[in-house]
Structure 1
Amino acid sequence: MPKPEPTELSRPYWDALREGHLVFQRCSCGNAWLPARRHCPHCLKPEPRWERSSGKATLVSWVVYHTAYHPAFESRLPYNVALVQLAEGPRLLTNIVDANEALVADAPVELQIEWEGDTALARFRLAHVTV
């Protein structure tokens, strides 16, 4: 499986996942984002701070792959790649661990950290909402 290559800039993100939580960056102007950047993409101020996410998000969109465009993904077919919006604002490309047939737009999802070898990855599962 291809592995992410953490950099000095992205290391806090990967370290947080290893510790069991998800972090994102926020600027003093209030803008929040992922992936890591040195400057705010909204106002260009330097030195954003890292903030811990609640792990709650909403499923924005997804695609289900039935063809593996890399040999490492053949055993996972069919698999999804999803866009979720964290409750705190940033959007993240990820996977939803539930059955592809269960995915619906605007579904509430929650963080589920999964390990691929020695790498922790931010994945999400459908939240069980009680009314």
Structure 2
Amino acid sequence: MDNQQLIEMLPPVTEANRDFWEGTLAGELRLQYGDSGTPRFPESPVDPVTLGTDFEWRAAGGRATLWSWIVMHQKYFPAFADEVPYLVAFVQLEEGPYLMTTLVDPPENLQCGMPLEVVFEQVSEDRAIPKFKVVTP
């Protein structure tokens, strides 16, 4: 994979999401919490329950459940051209929010509901992306 092309595809680091990206570099998956205590991802300027504007970022537990996935066979994105076919996963974090990601070393027989844990791939000096791996009993 061409890391430069991947980095260009990532959302820019802004004041609104800086804590999330700093967390990935520190090996933490961080979620935003507002007045209601409801975790959210992606970030939002207001709490979805109270519409309050005060929030903080907290480290998530890093556990998730595989909700769904697809295998991409087309070369939609040049950054992934060398990896076709590749897997795109939709996971639900233990805390509730959903996240699009990929799985590291996925087993041949994936099943919805499989337990996962976060891992981080550092793609540049200042960016790491969260990925997940299946938790083996």
Whole-Å separation in 2 of the counterparts to 1:42 and 1:62:
29
Q: Which amino acid aligns with 1:50?
A: W
The alpha carbon displacement at 1:102 in A equals: 3.3
Whole-Å separation in 1 of the counterparts to 2:109 and 2:55:
37
Q: Which amino acid aligns with 2:78?
A: P
Alignment of 1:59-74 (within 5 A): 59-74=66-81
1:76 paired residue number: 83
User: Which 5+ residue runs of structure 2 have no aligned equivalent?
Assistant: none
Identity %: 35
The alpha carbon displacement at 1:100 in A equals: 6.2
Whole-Å separation in 1 of the counterparts to 2:46 and 2:128:
26
Asked if 1 retains the 8 angstrom alpha-carbon contact of 2:35 and 2:54, the reply is no
The alpha carbon displacement at 1:121 in A equals: 0.4
Aligned residues: CA RMSD:
1.4
Q: Does 1:2 align with 2:6?
A: yes
* 1:100/1:43 CA distance change after superposition, 3 Å: farther
The alpha carbon displacement at 1:98 in A equals: 2.2
Whole-Å separation in 2 of the counterparts to 1:76 and 1:7:
29
Of 38, 50, 54, the residue aligned with 1:43 is 50
Of 8, 18, 39, the residue aligned with 1:11 is 18
Asked if 1 retains the 8 angstrom alpha-carbon contact of 2:27 and 2:120, the reply is yes
The alpha carbon displacement at 1:30 in A equals: 2.5
The alpha carbon displacement at 1:85 in A equals: 1.0
Query: TM-score of the superposition, structure 2-length normalised?
Result: 0.87
Q: Which amino acid aligns with 2:133?
A: R
1:53 paired residue number: 60
Query: TM-score of the superposition, structure 1-length normalised?
Result: 0.91
